[in-house]
């Protein structure tokens, strides 16, 4: 089957609906219909929301930040931890009042959370004022759903995941001017036992290299200087595809594009992080000196239960190889504390790994039980309070590591992108090509430019000066 022909006709159909909404919406809402997109979760969701905004813009909506005066409100949700879901329900609840005051307002919920049957059912029963519940594979059909609803159609629950076609060329409204997201693949095949993502995002599928390169070039033309390639496991990009372009090759192709810019990427799964990739990062000067390599646990016993396909020794070997090849690399990681069956002895192995590797920063989470995942069935005898104690211990350990890390930046000069105004009068804030953020005196006209900054001091953040 030729998927791209199929995808083109899907896009054309939706752009047709968008045009019809463009003329229909003002008859319902007056001349300036407004839409609000509220995003939870990871960068993938932020990027998806940029496409939702792109489509809404094509339909004639002005994008607003507040729900208060919006005629269309969509919550793009995350399912990765229970806390994320609780926040979403709290937010949806507040729209009841809006719907009462302005019954024509359309309320939609999309994204990972609603892809779970029990959540969609809960919304169907307990949140009757929600108009659309849209799964992760149908978000591109938003124009069609809005058009039908404006024409008197009923509630929509569209959660099918059967069609894995990647819809290219959807209109996009990016949030940033200099820093942007670029998805290179969707879904996940890894089934880590704690994780809901493969169930709600479906199987891994990669975009064609030509499509990625074309979008990347367009972003550079539009003034983007710092582009992050997105995927749940970018290291397995292109696996099983006839084009033979793996992630390392893709990075080289992007690095060859003319201009000054930084190429970032996330997330890397340690099991697929190859020496070829490390050498590519080392040799490609536009590729950022940052590797986000989640290890989740320092205990090989727990890593096996998590289905991560590496053990403590393999991970440490990978870190050693990365540091040898890319001495200025900033390493960051994700950690889960309190996985079912984890003992304090296991946790101490996580602590010792943190102390040994000396990460630039960490994203730390207490294990959250996700319905339908294998870990949800594993015995979990440690209390939440006990897990909380371990968690605090971990934060304290990382605080000490971070304090020592500061020293390695002082006195050094970095190429920095002036990407935002600082809160300090007359100061700019910028990123190195690793993870450090530095503030320095600079004129507002420097926004979007690269400058050489010498880092001079640290006061709740790095302070430097242009040299
Ligand atoms: N694909 C990425 C991360 C996706 S989710 C990767 O493999 O690294 C981001 C992070 O959330 C994970 O790395 C993990 O640390 C955390 N996470 C995922 N499921 C979780 C759960 N059930 N409880 C707590 N943390 C979880
Ligand atoms: Fe979840 Fe593992 Fe896939 Fe990451 S690699 S999204 S943690 S299943
Ligand atoms: Fe959350 Fe979905 Fe991302 S579950 S972390 S928004 S892929």
From the CB of 363, is ligand 2 less than 6 Å away?
Answer: no
Which residues does a 6 A CB cutoff place in the pocket of ligand 3? 41-42, 44-45, 78-80, 112, 196-197, 200-201
The best mutation among 37, 40, 49, 78 to test binding of ligand 3, ranked by most ligand atoms within 8 Å of the C-beta, falls on 78
**Domain closes at, from 372, 406, 440:** 406
What pLDDT does 162 receive?
A: 86
Q: Does residue 172 belong to any structural domain of this protein?
A: no
270 and 294 both lie in a single domain: yes
145 and 44 both lie in a single domain: yes
Q: Count up the domains in the chain and report the number.
A: 3
Q: In this structure, are strands 132-134 and 72-77 parallel, antiparallel, or unpaired?
A: unpaired
Ligand having the closest approach to the CA of 365: 1
From the CB of 115, is ligand 2 less than 6 Å away?
Answer: no
Ligand having the closest approach to the CA of 306: 2
228 and 319 both lie in a single domain: yes
* Whole-number Å distance between alpha carbons of 319 and 155: 51
Residue 131 CA, ligand 1 centroid: distance in Å:
30
Residues in the chain: 467
Rg of the chain, C-alpha, whole Å: 23
From the CB of 235, is ligand 2 less than 6 Å away?
Answer: no
Residue 286 CA, ligand 2 centroid: distance in Å:
27
Q: Which range marks the domain in which residue 85 is found?
A: 3-158
Ligand having the closest approach to the CA of 77: 3
CATH of the domain at 93: 3.40.50.12160
27 and 76 both lie in a single domain: yes
What pLDDT does 7 receive?
A: 75
Q: Look at the block and give the residue holding tokens 């090849």.
A: 325
Nearest CA to 111 out of 130, 147, 85 is that of 85
CATH of the domain at 254: 3.80.30.20
393 and 442 both lie in a single domain: no
* Whole-number Å distance between alpha carbons of 174 and 189: 28
139 and 255 both lie in a single domain: no
16 and 99 both lie in a single domain: yes
Q: Does residue 101 belong to any structural domain of this protein?
A: yes
Rounded to 5 degrees, what are φ and ψ at 43?
Answer: -60, -30
Residue 80 CA, ligand 1 centroid: distance in Å:
7
306 and 427 both lie in a single domain: no
Q: Does residue 256 belong to any structural domain of this protein?
A: yes
pLDDT in 10s for each residue of the chain, 467 residues: 445 556 789 999 999 999 999 999 999 999 999 999 999 999 999 999 999 999 999 999 999 999 989 999 999 999 999 998 999 999 999 999 999 999 999 999 999 999 999 999 999 999 999 999 999 999 999 999 999 999 999 999 999 998 888 999 999 999 999 999 999 999 999 999 999 999 999 999 999 999 999 999 999 999 999 999 999 999 999 998 999 999 999 999 999 999 999 999 999 999 999 999 999 999 999 999 999 999 999 999 999 999 999 999 999 999 999 999 999 999 999 999 999 999 999 999 999 999 999 999 999 999 999 999 999 999 999 999 999 999 999 999 999 999 999 999 999 999 999 999 988 889 999 999 999 999 999 999 999 999 999 999 999 999 999 99
* Whole-number Å distance between alpha carbons of 316 and 357: 8
Q: Does residue 129 belong to any structural domain of this protein?
A: yes
What pLDDT does 423 receive?
A: 84
211 and 322 both lie in a single domain: yes
Nearest CA to ligand 1 atom 11: 80
Ligand 3 atom nearest the C-alpha of 45 is: 6
221 and 151 both lie in a single domain: no
Whether the predicted model's global pTM rises above the 0.85 cut: yes
148 and 194 both lie in a single domain: no
**Domain closes at, from 369, 386, 406:** 406
The best mutation among 336, 337, 338, 394 to test binding of ligand 1, ranked by most ligand atoms within 8 Å of the C-beta, falls on 336
Residue 47 CA, ligand 3 centroid: distance in Å:
11
Nearest CA to ligand 3 atom 3: 42
The best mutation among 46, 77, 79, 365 to test binding of ligand 3, ranked by most ligand atoms within 8 Å of the C-beta, falls on 79
Q: Does residue 166 belong to any structural domain of this protein?
A: no
141 and 201 both lie in a single domain: no
Nearest CA to ligand 1 atom 18: 195
The best mutation among 79, 80, 233, 272 to test binding of ligand 2, ranked by most ligand atoms within 8 Å of the C-beta, falls on 233
Q: Does residue 220 belong to any structural domain of this protein?
A: yes
Ligand 1 atom nearest the C-alpha of 233 is: 1
Q: Is the peptide bond before 267 cis (omega within 30 degrees of 0)?
A: yes
């Amino acid at each position: 089957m030729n998927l791209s022909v199929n995808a083109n006709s899907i896009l054309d159909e939706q752009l047709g609906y968008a045009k019809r909404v463009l003329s229909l919406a003002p008859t319902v809402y007056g001349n300036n219909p407004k839409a609000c997109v509220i995003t939870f979760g990871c960068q993938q969701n932020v990027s998806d929301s940029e496409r939702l905004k792109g489509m809404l813009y094509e339909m004639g909506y002005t994008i607003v930040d507040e729900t208060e005066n919006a005629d269309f409100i969509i919550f793009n949700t995350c399912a990765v931890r229970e806390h994320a879901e609780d926040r979403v329900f709290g937010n949806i609840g507040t729209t009841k009042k809006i719907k009462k005051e302005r019954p024509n307002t359309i309320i939609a919920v999309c994204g990972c959370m609603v892809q779970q049957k029990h959540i969609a059912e809960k919304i169907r029963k307990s949140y009757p004022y929600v108009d659309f519940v849209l799964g992760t594979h149908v978000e591109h059909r938003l124009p069609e759903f809005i058009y039908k609803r404006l024409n008197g159609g009923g509630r929509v629950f569209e959660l099918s995941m059967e069609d894995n076609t990647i819809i290219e060329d959807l209109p996009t409204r990016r949030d940033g001017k200099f820093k942007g997201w670029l998805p290179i693949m969707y879904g996940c095949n890894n089934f880590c036992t704690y994780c809901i993502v493969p169930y709600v995002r479906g199987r891994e599928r990669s975009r064609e290299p030509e499509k990625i390169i074309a979008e990347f070039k367009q972003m550079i033309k539009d003034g983007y200087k710092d582009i992050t390639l997105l995927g749940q496991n970018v290291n397995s990009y292109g696996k099983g595809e006839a084009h033979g372009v793996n992630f390392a090759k893709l990075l080289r192709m992007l690095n060859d594009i003319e201009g000054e810019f930084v190429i970032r990427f996330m997330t890397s799964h340690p099991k697929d992080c190859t020496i070829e990739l490390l050498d590519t990062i080392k040799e490609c000067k536009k590729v950022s000196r940052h590797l986000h390599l989640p290890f989740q646990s320092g205990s090989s016993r727990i890593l096996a239960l998590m289905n991560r396909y590496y053990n403590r020794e393999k991970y440490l070997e990978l870190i050693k190889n990365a540091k040898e090849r890319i001495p200025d690399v900033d390493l960051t990681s994700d950690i889960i504390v309190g996985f079912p069956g984890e003992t304090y002895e296991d946790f101490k192995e996580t602590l010792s790994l943190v102390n040994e590797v000396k990460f630039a920063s960490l994203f730390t989470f207490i294990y959250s039980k996700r319905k339908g995942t294998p870990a949800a069935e594993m015995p979990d005898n440690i209390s939440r309070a006990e897990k909380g104690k371990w968690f605090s211990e971990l934060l304290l350990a990382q605080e000490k590591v971070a304090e020592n890390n500061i020293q390695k930046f002082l006195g050094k000069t970095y190429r920095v992108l002036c990407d935002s105004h600082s809160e300090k009068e007359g100061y700019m804030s910028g990123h190195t090509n690793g993870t450090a953020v530095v503030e320095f005196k600079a004129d507002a006209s420097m926004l979007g430019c690269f400058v050489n900054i010498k880092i001079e001091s640290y006061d709740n953040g790095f302070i430097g000066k242009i040299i």
